[in-house]
Structure 1
Amino acid sequence: MANSKRLFGVVRRKLLSRSPSSITTICSSIPETTKEHIAAIKIQAYLRGHLGRRAFRALRSLVKLQAVARGVLVRRQARIALHCMHALARLQVRVRARQILSH
């Protein structure tokens, strides 16, 4: 309820700050429009813009969450690969040490 009141206040302030020329532009493009129709059109436009921005923010935060999760997976894979390479290097050292001792 409080959120809708705040949104209504924002829309009202934006409507009141508009110049009369923007209203006449809308009136000239749509025949037989009243101030109520113009106000309804503007409110719908602002509400759709608000909902679009909210959806975009949610999508952007979802992308960030995916990036964090993928980063964790990549770091884990790198740690495992480094551990395996280290084990192979130790094995190679042992094999070469045996070859030197056997000759």
Structure 2
Amino acid sequence: MKFAVVTTLHYGDHKMYNDDVRLVDALDKIGVEWIEAQKFWGSLGLDTYNIDYKPEDKIAVIELKDISQLALLAEVENDKIYIDYEKHVIIPAYYEVDD
């Protein structure tokens, strides 16, 4: 199953990923596909999923295959991670996520 990997729900500008070297390194190890945000959310039947993006913006999408992928992302973000299975979003977070 494919998931968008974001650090906040308003993370649509793919150039912003370059600012977080640890996240980029983790994505490189996991293997990532860059997909136009509009196409990815549209494939889930969602308009935008409340993200701010331009049509040319891309998001990092991973094929979730095993727990080691999540362990790597969690390690990058101090063991805080949130997965929205319904909307196919993985959020390595710097903050505590509400249940």
Q: TM-score, normalised by structure 2?
A: 0.23
**Structure number with higher strand proportion:** 2
Q: Which gives a bigger RCO, structure 1 or 2 (Cα 8 Å, sep 6+)?
A: 2
**Structure number with higher helix proportion:** 1
Q: TM-score, normalised by structure 1?
A: 0.23
Which structure has the bigger radius of gyration?
1
